[in-house]
């Protein structure tokens, strides 16, 4: 079976950028920057891009392209036992896909709500009580919420259709359309945000440096965390996307372009977000810090309130903001699904359509839990555990195994072979020392923090069943898939001779 391939290099880059640019760029970066030293945060942030983000991206591009397989096949090609780690990353991607779909679905609903600002005056009550109809706790499901169901079905259906068309005709084409539109719509938000009265107060809050914070370890951890979680690294996506690259591909510059595009985008969108927040703070007569939020609270509570407070074009600006969220989330969503679909196709040599029918079907059924009244709670817990433990552990094991127990120098030579500019030995040191240390510190810190103070004030039982339960399931399913008998006749992988060239 011939392996699918990207049609153009630009197509691959747009898909990689589309994967990296997600909801976190819009609703996480501006807050993290503002609350970790403002402008001073940009120095640890840039340092983290160079010492961790780009090196890991180069590593994953190289692994995927050299061994021409998704994470399980590629890591399994490097060492049979490491296939397990590839499956671990793929299962992490599976869990993320299940809840990512519902956030995109909420955003679709909010495009419609924007027309007449259906959220009213109390945006918080509207979102949590009227729209989500949240139950009393994570273990009380509270039934399917029909108002979320239709956009939710649309997200899964559209994702399924695009993925069915394959890499070149599906993912690449979708990204070639969506990414330019995403950039244009973000431009609209930025222009609107910056032309509002009070916007400069927001930007002052965002960028005024607090130099004292640069000496705080937590600010550096926040910088590395933002880089790591924002680039779609550590959970099989970039290895998968790179596995569809042709042999003569510039890997190093592609990684630099992907990273700079992703982080350049979040700096750009931050201008619009804090422009609007500055305006809103002015209207309410409060400090910008009081309206500065991250995540779901920013997108579905603060922003709707800000949209209602706009002097004109409320419906248009609201629709543009939520379409931007949909586009950013959707391109990431399809990349997350592709990460485990490719793993399955590689291992069992089954047609793409069959793999999609089975595994998108399973993901779709599992994700129904997020359409219930307990959906937000389950999402919150799962997101925390899968990100802070699943992705981080997958990343640590990847850099340690490949850095210390594989021919890293050989990978560097391969990365440099067709690249526009070469990476030096510094890359080896980043992979072997800096990234394991930083990620290890993050993992231990999160672990200790969780034992001192259980996450989010949830009950121990909820965290055990949903959070730790999902984390354990990542191990269990990784071992199950690792031990399953694949199709040994699969000739998707290059021969050892070809790899060693």
Partner 1 sequence: MNTSALIMFLVGAIMLWGGLIVCLRIAFKKHNNVNNGVDDIAQE
What is the binding site for partner 1 (CB under 8 A)?
38-40, 42, 46, 200, 203-204, 206-209, 250, 253, 256-257, 260-261, 263-264, 267-268, 420-421
Q: Where are the alpha helices (DSSP H) in 208-302?
A: 217-230, 237-242, 251-284, 288-291, 295-297
Q: Looking at the DSSP assignment, which residues form a beta bridge with residue 377?
A: none
- Could you say which DSSP state residue 406 is in? S
- Closest CB to partner 1 among 263 and 352? 263
In Å, the largest CA–CA distance within the chain is: 69
DSSP conformation class of 2? P
- Is residue 282 within 8 A of residue 198, CB to CB? The reply is yes
Task: State the minimum distance, in angstroms, from the CB of residue 248 to partner 1.
Answer: 10
Nearest residue (CB) to partner 1, 211 versus 479: 211
Instruction: Of 272, 108, 282, give the one whose Cα is nearest residue 206.
Output: 272
Q: How many Cα atoms are found within 13 Å in the side-chain-facing hemisphere of 196?
A: 33
Shortest distance (Å) from residue 45 CB to partner 1: 8
Query: Is the Cβ–Cβ distance between 32 and 222 less than 8 Å?
Result: yes
3-state secondary structure of 144: strand
* CB atoms near residue 64 (< 10 Å): 26
CB 199 within 8 A of CB 270: no
| Angle of CA points 33, 228, 156, to nearest 5° | 100
Q: Shortest approach of partner 1 to residue 260 CB, angstroms?
A: 4
The least CB distance from residue 94 to partner 1, in Å, is 32
Sign of CA dihedral 336, 340, 341, 343: positive
Q: Using the minimum distance from each CB to partner 1, give the nearer residue, 100 or 274.
A: 274
Nearer residue to partner 1 within complex by CB, 209 or 315: 209
**Closest CB to partner 1 among residues 71, 281:** 281
Minimal distance in Å, beta carbon 271 to partner 1? 8
Q: Do 478 and 434 form a contact (C-beta atoms < 8 A)?
A: no
Shortest distance, position 265 Cβ to partner 1, whole Å:
9
Angle at 173 between CA 170 and CA 179, to 5 degrees: 125
Closer to partner 1 by CB, 97 or 194: give it: 194
Nearer to partner 1, 38 or 318 (CB): 38
3-state class (DSSP) for residue 349: coil
Q: Name which of 123 and 292 has its Cβ closer to partner 1.
A: 292
CA atoms within 13 A on the CB side of 401: 20
- The smaller minimum CB distance to partner 1, of residues 53 and 390, is found at 53
Nearer to partner 1, 124 or 210 (CB): 210
In total, the chain counts a number of residues equal to 501
In the complex, minimum distance from the CB of residue 257 to partner 1, in angstroms, rounded to a whole number: 5
Q: Which residue from 234, 237, 262 is spatially nearest to 56, judged by alpha carbons? A: 234
Rounded least distance, CB 213 to partner 1, Å: 13
Residue number, 264 or 456, with CB nearest to partner 1: 264
Query: 180 burial class (0-12, 13-18, 19+ CB within 10 angstroms)?
Result: exposed
- How far apart are alpha carbons 104 and 30 in whole angstroms? 20
Query: Cβ 203 to partner 1, closest distance in Å?
Result: 5
| Nearest approach, Cβ of residue 207 and partner 1 (Å) | 4
């Amino acid at each position: 079976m011939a392996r699918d391939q990207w049609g153009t290099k630009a197509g691959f880059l747009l898909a990689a950028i589309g994967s990296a640019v997600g909801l976190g760029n819009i609703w996480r970066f501006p807050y993290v920057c503002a609350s970790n030293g403002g402008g001073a945060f940009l120095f640890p942030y840039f340092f983290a891009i160079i010492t961790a983000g780009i090196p890991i991206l180069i590593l994953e591009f190289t692994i995927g392209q050299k061994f021409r397989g998704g994470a399980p096949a590629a890591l399994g090609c490097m060492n049979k036992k490491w296939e397990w780690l590839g499956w671990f990353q793929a299962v992490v991607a599976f869990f993320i896909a299940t809840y990512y779909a519902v956030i995109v679905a909420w955003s679709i609903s909010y495009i419609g709500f924007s027309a007449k600002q259906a959220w009213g005056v109390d945006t918080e009550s509207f979102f949590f009580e009227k729209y989500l109809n949240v139950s009393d706790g994570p273990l009380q499901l509270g039934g399917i919420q029909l108002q979320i169901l239709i956009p939710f079905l649309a997200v899964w259906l559209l994702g399924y259709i695009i993925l069915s068309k394959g890499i070149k005709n599906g993912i690449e084409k979708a990204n070639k359309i969506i990414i330019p539109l995403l950039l244009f719509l973000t431009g609209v938000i930025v222009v609107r945000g910056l032309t509002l009265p009070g916007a400069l107060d927001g930007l002052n809050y965002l960028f005024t440096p607090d130099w004292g914070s640069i000496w705080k370890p937590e600010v550096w951890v926040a910088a590395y965390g933002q880089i790591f979680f924002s680039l779609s690294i550590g959970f099989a996506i970039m290895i998968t996307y790179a596995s569809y690259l042709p042999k003569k591909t510039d890997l190093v510059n592609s990684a630099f372009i992907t990273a700079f595009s992703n982080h350049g985008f979040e700096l750009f969108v931050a201008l619009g977000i804090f422009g609007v927040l500055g305006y809103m703070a002015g209207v309410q007569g409060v400090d910008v810090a009081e309206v500065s939020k991250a995540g779901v609270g920013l997108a579905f509570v603060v922003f709707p309130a800000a949209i209602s407070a706009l002097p004109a074009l409320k419906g248009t600006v609201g629709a543009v903001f939520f379409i931007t969220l949909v586009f950013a989330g959707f391109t990431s969503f399809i990349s997350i699904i592709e990460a485990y679909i490719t793993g399955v196709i590689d291992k069992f040599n089954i047609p793409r359509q069959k793999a999609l029918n089975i595994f998108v079907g399973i993901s779709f059924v599992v994700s129904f839990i997020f359409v219930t009244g307990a959906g937000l709670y389950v999402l919150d817990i799962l997101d925390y555990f899968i990100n802070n433990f699943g992705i981080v552990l997958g990343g640590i094991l990847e850099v340690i195994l490949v850095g210390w127990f594989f021919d890293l120098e050989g990978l560097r030579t391969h990365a440099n072979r067709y690249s526009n500019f070469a990476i030096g030995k510094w890359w080896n040191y980043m992979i072997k020392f800096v990234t394991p240390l930083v990620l290890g510190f993050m993992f231990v810190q999160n672990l200790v923090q969780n034992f001192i103070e259980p996450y989010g004030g949830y009950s121990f039982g909820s965290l055990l069943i949903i959070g730790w339960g999902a984390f354990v399931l990542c191990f269990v399913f990784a071992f199950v898939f690792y031990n399953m008998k694949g199709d040994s006749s699969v000739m998707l992988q290059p021969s050892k001779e070809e790899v060693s060239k």
